[in-house]
Amino acid sequence: MRLGTIAVFVTLSLSCNAVKCMAFGQDMEGPPELRDALKCEIRLTTNNGAIGSRILGFLTLSNTAPIDLQLPCPGTLVGGLHVRMFLLTTRETGPVQRLSVPLFVFQGNPTAEQDIVEAHGKRAEGFGFFKLKIGTKPVDTEIASTLGLREALGAAMPLCADANCGLSLADARRYVEGTRAADLMFVEQPVAHDDLSALSRLTQISPTPIGADEGIHSLADIEAHERCGVGGVSLKLIKLGGMSAAVEAAQHCARLGLAVNVAAKIAESSIASAAAIHLACAAPAVDWGVSLTHFYLADDVAKNALPIGDGAVALPARPGLGIDVDEAAVERFRVNG
């Protein structure tokens, strides 16, 4: 997607204490809804420090008629009126590629029957992507559980498995062969993260694409795993070193032809989940889904936890991460050393 030129016209009237603004875009390409997503932030600052800096309002490209914004208080000496454009993501992420992301839910109960009951419940809530945690039970039990869950969900439902390094090469081979009929989208990190030799041997015989997770911390790691034959990788902000590095990694995966899964770490709040959503919406593709964990928490440290609707989370429409931290909750959960 390419963004063209953006023009913002601002007129300031001290006599009537009003600001009039108009914004429009030219040569825009991409989904039509992005004209609503592209916003202009109008911020007022003063040179006498009376009100400091304050956001007055927002414009969208779909509303090109001038709008009037009242100054905070009469008689304020205006030091500057600043206009900033943003596209529903932080400036580090680049142009947005999608406005919402579907989530997958984890299955990993003690029994296959419990997995099936839980999966039916999540499906009724609108979820349409499932990841089965494996590598903790005998491999024959894992195979039977996978086949049972596939039968319960139906052939069309996206289903994958994640061993978190929990299988030996021999068990990994048995698992991918034994679950061939389940038509898994991918099997994530079946063997130890640093055993690239075993990984390479497994990808050569596996009927199912193999994904890498624990071994991915840099562009060099992505390239090394691509040479081993993996079909995709899991990208996490905490491992890659921040938003810019993670977006670069997603772009590198696209160049290498690798699928991407964007994932949060376990039990992260809406703060980290919001950052992961921004990454997922800026990545060229998220073929292997998005996993967030804030909705598993009993309490969140955001004033309004990121909502989930029909198994998806929308990209927050406000500046920055798009969430407000609940300072009272942070204080309540503070642990003093």
Please provide the DSSP assignment of 132-143 as one string: EE-SSS-HHHHH
Average pLDDT over residues 156-166: 95
Q: Is 17 exposed, middle or buried (0-12, 13-18, 19+ CB in 10 A)?
A: middle
Domain with CATH 2.60.40 in the chain: 6-86
> CA-to-CA distance for 58 and 35, rounded, in angstroms?
13
Q: Do 103 and 313 meet the contact criterion of CB atoms below 8 Å apart?
A: yes
pLDDT confidence tier of residue 142, bands split at 50, 70 and 90: very high
pLDDT in tens, 76-135: 434 444 443 333 333 344 566 788 888 888 999 999 999 999 999 999 988 889 999 999
**Which value, to the nearest 10 degrees, does the dihedral of the CA atoms of residues 124, 125, 131, 136 take?**
-80
Dihedral sign computed on CA atoms, order 52, 56, 60, 61: negative
pLDDT confidence tier of residue 7, bands split at 50, 70 and 90: very low
Following DSSP, what letter does each residue of 228-258 receive, concatenated? TT-SEEEE-HHHHTSHHHHHHHHHHHHHHT-
Q: Is the pLDDT of residue 16 over 80?
A: no
Judged by phi (left if over 0) then psi (alpha if -120 to 50, else beta), residue 36 lies in: alpha
> CA-to-CA distance for 297 and 324, rounded, in angstroms?
17
> CA-to-CA distance for 297 and 125, rounded, in angstroms?
17
CATH 3.20.20.120 assigned to 100-327: yes
**Six-digit token string for 72:** 């905070």
Q: Is 131 exposed, middle or buried (0-12, 13-18, 19+ CB in 10 A)?
A: buried
> CA-to-CA distance for 53 and 81, rounded, in angstroms?
9
Query: What is the helix (H) or strand (E) element at residue 196, kind and residue range?
Result: helix 196-205
Question: Could you tell me which CATH number the domain at 6-86 has?
Answer: 2.60.40
Dihedral sign computed on CA atoms, order 173, 175, 177, 182: negative
Q: Which of 292, 257, 299, 298 is nearest to 278 (CA)?
A: 292
At 314, which amino acid appears? Answer: A
Q: Which residues make beta-bridge pairs with 107?
A: 132
Taking the whole predicted model, whether its pTM rises above 0.85 is answered as no
Give the per-residue pLDDT at 17.
45
Domain with CATH 3.20.20.120 in the chain: 100-327
Dihedral sign computed on CA atoms, order 116, 117, 118, 120: positive
pLDDT in tens, 175-219: 999 999 999 999 999 999 999 999 999 999 999 999 999 999 999
> CA-to-CA distance for 277 and 313, rounded, in angstroms?
8
CA atoms within 13 A on the CB side of 255: 9
Give the per-residue pLDDT at 324.
87
Q: Are strands 290-291 and 312-314 parallel, antiparallel or unpaired?
A: unpaired
Dihedral sign computed on CA atoms, order 240, 242, 91, 235: positive
